Amino acid sequence: MKSIVEALPLLKEPKRVFITTHHKPDGDALGSSLGLYHYLQQRGHHPVVVSPSEVPDFLMWMPGIDTVLNYESEPGQCQKALQESELVFCLDFSRLDRIKSMEEMLRNAAQPRILIDHHLQPDVDAFAYGMSEPDKSSTCEMVYDFIRLSGGEQYISNNVAQCLYTGVMTDTGSFRFPITTASVHEMLADLKRRGLDHAIIHQHIYDSWSVERMRFLGYILYQKMEIYPKQQVGIIALTQEDQQRFKVATGDTEGIVNYPLSIEKVTVSVLLTEKKDEVRMSFRSKGNIDVSSFAARHFNGGGHFNAAGGRSRESLAATVSRLKSLLGIDTN
């Protein structure tokens, strides 16, 4: 993989650009994709954003969200967009298997793939150009850096700013995680000087819950959260029945894994969500506890030092049992 600097000449003339991100996109995935979309559009390019799966409801307010194609429901249109493109930007994922059903299509594409991502251990052979910086707070921060590297600061419109702020805010836990560096605050100061109204974005993300989602959170905290003080661990395991009972939509479990970490002396939190064909896992930690290596070693996952994901093909009960065993929790 060559430096992304070497890809800049490819953008000197208008291009048809295909932008994609990981399966089940979050705030950083869509924020970086749409932030880049609005920037490239202003530079005279013709970008299209394709999500491997549906967009969560809590992000449906984002500028340009109505242009995003969903590969699961519109595969033909997405394939056509890729065939017509000249460049491919891959944002917020380090390996092509993170886009699931789109992997084969993208891997076989002849267009140069350009990576912008902050996850560990990128598959550098899968990308022609890229910037991979695990020390960055978010891919949105990296898109901001890319815009500046391209000499395009004057094109940071309010649409660009809203999208990039969304990803930085959500990936830093509203700026409380250690990954919130000085450069993050410098970026935010620049966006504010350009006229960004940050309060409305917080309102869109955190103050627009449905009644069902609020009741779902109460149910989780009262009946599903298990705390193990000796191991300093919190575990939440959600069955498919739990999700159906509260009509859980895509994105409704966003941020739930962080709640046990609000408890004094809890240093590791794990959320397990039962799906039709697998159990999805989210790991969070405080301080010097590496959940990324743990997820990679035991649950086919990875991510960041204090925030990672994983998956299991075992049943939910078997996965919970194995997790507790690995964490030294007595299941008898």
CA 134 to chain centre: 14
Residue 127: pLDDT band with limits 50, 70, 90:
very high
d(CA 332, CA 330): 6
Average pLDDT score over the chain: 96
- Summarize pLDDT for 299-327 with one digit per residue, the tens: 999 888 999 999 999 999 999 999 999 99
Q: Kindly state the greatest CA–CA separation across the chain.
A: 65
Fold match flag (2-206 vs 211-326): no
d(CA 284, CA 138): 16
**pLDDT above 90 (res 233):** yes
Residue 240: pLDDT band with limits 50, 70, 90:
very high
Calculate mean pLDDT across residues 204-221.
93
**pLDDT above 70 (res 241):** yes
Residue 112: pLDDT band with limits 50, 70, 90:
very high
- Domain 2-206, architecture per CATH: Alpha-Beta Complex (3.90)
Instruction: Report the CATH fold assignment for 211-326.
Output: Diaminopimelate Epimerase; Chain A, domain 1 (3.10.310)
d(CA 136, CA 117): 9
Nearest to 271 by CA among 300, 308, 305: 308
- Summarize pLDDT for 152-188 with one digit per residue, the tens: 999 999 999 999 999 999 999 999 888 999 999 999 9
Task: Please give the structure tokens belonging to residue 227.
Answer: 């705390």
Domain ranges for the chain, please list them.
2-206, 211-326
d(CA 255, CA 156): 28
